[in-house]
Every structure is written in structure tokens, then in C-alpha cells.
């Protein structure tokens, strides 16, 4: 079975702090892609960051970075210098290479407080 | 360029009725996928269509069907609506059949079944 587990239903931090969201996944495949999506109250699902499983180097996009541990099947998201606009639901997801179906976790509700 | 668009934004239906949801992909994108997001959960894959053919199907009953038109827009149809069909329905488009997960989501249609 292909599953994604996000163990933190809710998190809350102060503006400018650093926050890390956890994600573990399960698949028997070796080639896949991992993602973090952000879904603000507007409902639009926005891609935050993408990681190819064959790459050892962790992906980085401005204030967002990941810690990818393939052997542990762990894929956490770190948000540095958090901003009020980062308040949203965050979903971890993966897709098998050669497939289109994204498998999502249950999400983590992140609140950035002023 | 316009992103993925979906219509209607909101919809209220009664149990047993039929509903049609519409999606227009990003210009040049030939693949459309549909996801169901029940409140408090991550999206679940329903269908993928590419070049007007069904290329993937999730674990949904036959009451759910879809099609893709020559202009690559898509419709999702749900028959004999149940209360449990109440959800946010997301459409995602991508350039090719397998895009390494580079799927772009629309704002969704909120369906409420009473």
C-alpha cells in the first residue's frame, strides 16, 4: 500500500520563527517524486517544493527547504523566517515515476501568529 | 496565462440527484486529473484523462464518471448522490501523461449534498 502520514494535525508558531513539518511515507517503489503543497483558506492547492527521490541533495526554495531521508522514508519541510502568509494547510504527497496519481497525507494546519 | 479554472464554485444538491463539474486546464496541458477532498482530509485521486482517454482510476464507485473533450477540458459526473459525496472536488492539469508530479490545481468546486 502507498500511504503518507503527517503526524502533526496542527502547529502554531510566532512570526519570524522557524517551523518543521513532519511527513513519512510508504512505498515499495524506488523511483518517485515527493511534494509539499500549501492550501490556504482560498482552497487553491499550491506547490511549495518538489524532490526527486533519486537526488540525495535536499531541495530548497527560498525560505522553504526539505530534509529527505530515503532509507527512513521521511520527508520533512522546514519553513524559515515564517510569515503571516504562510498560514495554511500543508500537505505532503508523492507520485510514483510513470504514474500520475498523487498520494496525499492528512495535512498539517499551520498558523503563524503575529 | 490563465490557470486551471473550475465551475461552478459552489453547488448544493439533494441526495439521489446527479451533478456535473467542469474543468478547463492550463493552455497547452493535455492531461486532467480529478481529486476528491473531504473536509479535514487530504485529496483522493478519482480519475486521470489524457488525450480524451481514461488513463487512471482511483477507488471510487461507478457512480463517478468523467470525460475529456477535444479542447482538453473535462467534466466529472456523479450520479445518485450520497451525503458522503459532499466534498471539495479539485481538478489538476499537467503537460503530459506523466509529468513527474508537476500538476497544477484549480480552486475547486465545493459540493454539498443535503
Compute CA B110 distance to the chain's CA centroid, rounded to the nearest angstrom: 11
Question: Taking 70 as the threshold, does the pLDDT of residue B1 lie above it?
Answer: no
Residue A74, pLDDT score? 97
Q: What is the mean pLDDT of chain B?
A: 94
* Model pLDDT for residues A17-34, shown as the tens digit of each residue: 999 999 999 999 989 999
Name the phi and psi angles at B14, rounded to 5.
-105, 150
**Chain A closest-CA separation from residue B88 CA (Å):** 9
Inter-chain contact A101–B58, Cβ cutoff 8 Å?
yes
List of chain B residues whose C-beta atoms are within 8 Å of the C-beta of residue A45: 43, 90, 92, 105
Residue keyed to cell 511534494: A35
> Are the C-beta atoms of residues B101 and A47 closer than 8 Å to each other?
no
Question: Taking 90 as the threshold, does the pLDDT of residue A99 lie above it?
Answer: no
* Model pLDDT for residues B59-106, shown as the tens digit of each residue: 999 999 999 999 999 999 999 999 999 999 999 999 887 767 678 999
Closest CA to A88 of A42, A50, A49, A47: A42
**Chain B closest-CA separation from residue A99 CA (Å):** 6
List the 4-63 stretch of A: residues with Cβ below 8 A of B. Answer: 4, 33, 35, 37, 42-47, 50, 52
A110 DSSP β-pair partners = A11, A88
What is the DSSP-derived secondary structure letter of residue A62? T
| Nearest residue, CB atoms, A107 vs list B42, B101, B103 | B42
* Model pLDDT for residues B18-46, shown as the tens digit of each residue: 999 999 999 999 999 999 999 989 999 99
DSSP per-residue letters across A56-83: -SPPEETTEEEEEETTTTEEEEEE-S--
Inter-chain contact A42–B90, Cβ cutoff 8 Å?
no
Residue B101, pLDDT score? 65
**Chain A closest-CA separation from residue B100 CA (Å):** 6
What are the cell numbers at B72?
482538453
What is the DSSP-derived secondary structure letter of residue B8? -
Closest CA to A95 of A103, A106, A83, A85: A103
**Chain B closest-CA separation from residue A19 CA (Å):** 21
Instruction: Please confirm whether the linkage preceding B8 is cis (ω < 30° from 0).
Output: yes
Helix (H, G, I), strand (E, B) or coil at A70: coil
| Nearest residue, CB atoms, B107 vs list A42, A97, A98 | A42
Amino acid at each position: 500500500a502507498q500511504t503518507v502520514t503527517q503526524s502533526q494535525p496542527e502547529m502554531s508558531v510566532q512570526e519570524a520563527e522557524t517551523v518543521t513539518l513532519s511527513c513519512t511515507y510508504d512505498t515499495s517503489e524506488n523511483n518517485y517524486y515527493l511534494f509539499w503543497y500549501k492550501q490556504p483558506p482560498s482552497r487553491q492547492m499550491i506547490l511549495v517544493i518538489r524532490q526527486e527521490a533519486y537526488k540525495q541533495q535536499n531541495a530548497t526554495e527560498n525560505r522553504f527547504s526539505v530534509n529527505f531521508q530515503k532509507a527512513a522514508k521521511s520527508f520533512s519541510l522546514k519553513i524559515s523566517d515564517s510569515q503571516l502568509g504562510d498560514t495554511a494547510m500543508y500537505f505532503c504527497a508523492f507520485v510514483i515515476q510513470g504514474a500520475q496519481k498523487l498520494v496525499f497525507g492528512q495535512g498539517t494546519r499551520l498558523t503563524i501568529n503575529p | 496565462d490563465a490557470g486551471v479554472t473550475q465551475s461552478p464554485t459552489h453547488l448544493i444538491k439533494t441526495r439521489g440527484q446527479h451533478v456535473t463539474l467542469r474543468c478547463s486546464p492550463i493552455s497547452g496541458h493535455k492531461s486532467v486529473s480529478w481529486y476528491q477532498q473531504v473536509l479535514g482530509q487530504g485529496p483522493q485521486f478519482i480519475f486521470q484523462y489524457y488525450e480524451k482517454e481514461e488513463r487512471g482510476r482511483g477507488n471510487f464507485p461507478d457512480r463517478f464518471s468523467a470525460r475529456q473533450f477535444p479542447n482538453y477540458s473535462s467534466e466529472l459526473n456523479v450520479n445518485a448522490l450520497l451525503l458522503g459525496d459532499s466534498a471539495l472536488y479539485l481538478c489538476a492539469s499537467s503537460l503530459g501523461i506523466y509529468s513527474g508530479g508537476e500538476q497544477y490545481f484549480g480552486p475547486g468546486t465545493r459540493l454539498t449534498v443535503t
